[in-house]
Amino acid sequence: MRKRSNIGITVLIISVFTYIITQMVSDGNANMTYLSRDHTEKSIEHFNYPIIHDGWELIWRDEFDGDTVNPQKWNFEDWAAEKNNELQYYTPANVTQEDGYLKLISKKEKFKGRDYSSGAIHTKDLFSFLYGKAEMRAKLPTGQGIFPAFWMMPNKEQTWLPEIDIMEMVGHKPNEIWMVLHWLNDKGELQSKSNNYIGPDFSTDFHTYSVEWTPKQITWLIDGEIRYVEDRFIPNEPMYLYLNTAIGGNWPKAPDATTLFPQFYSVDYVRVYKYRGGGK
């Protein structure tokens, strides 16, 4: 009887601990990471990721657990994209959250005057920050004419510059990531600095894409490795986050017969940190 009772107590303790861990969910300013019962591989990764890592303190995040995208963190685009001669209509219907991931879905369909629909979300007026680290873990869509991006813009009206492109990929080159900084010079002319990184096929697995943004420089990282550093024309105003998949346009060009639809831009998490370690 005593041995059986001890087993019962042990099971009870384990159950309580598991329940506590599953409830440690942040509403915005993170206190710690957590373990979800549903997605073991994803959850262990979250649980092992520290709040303060190499001097970076987690201040905002979305782990995309739950059934719906959090409207207190994200705005949904709902318009026919007009820049760069793109071909998609952004609709909230193409932004979903399931199985622990955000999914931006791109479709070939007649939709409000366009031949394609896609998804885009951003944090304008909900969350912005001045200097810090922004990181996303994602598996990217692929194919001719598909153009996923993760970027930042100033949190104010009627402007998109300066712009920090943390990650851009043209879908017919799924092993090439572009990292770009855009700004206006004193004459009001668009200027850009960029670098590309050739690696694995970024559409077949999840990878991390991040920038470390300080008053002195911007450092781009892919899977934790430094891939580009820029120390001039550094933005000095609060910026917000933007995730989207464009279709067609001046750079990627239109989809063709080889492009498969639907395409999915799957995001495991987005996290933002402030540097607390000094010296940057």
CA distance 175 to 4: 57
Give the torsion through C-alpha atoms of 216, 227, 60, 33, to 10 deg.
-130
The candidate with the shortest Cα–Cα distance to 160, out of 244, 271, 34, 275, is 244
3-class DSSP assignment, residue 222: strand
The candidate with the shortest Cα–Cα distance to 246, out of 167, 97, 146, is 146
Strand ranges for 140-275 from DSSP E? 146-154, 163-168, 176-184, 190-198, 207-213, 218-222, 225-230, 239-247, 263-275
Work out the angle at residue 149's Cα, subtended by the Cα atoms of residues 148 and 155, and round it to the nearest 5 degrees: 145
Give me the active site residues, please: 163, 168
- Residue 118, CA distances (Å) to 45, 81, 175 in order: 29, 10, 22
- Radius of gyration, alpha carbons of the chain: 21
The tokens of 63 are what?
């782990």
- Residue 19, CA distances (Å) to 14, 33, 239 in order: 9, 14, 37
For residue 137, the one-letter residue type is: R
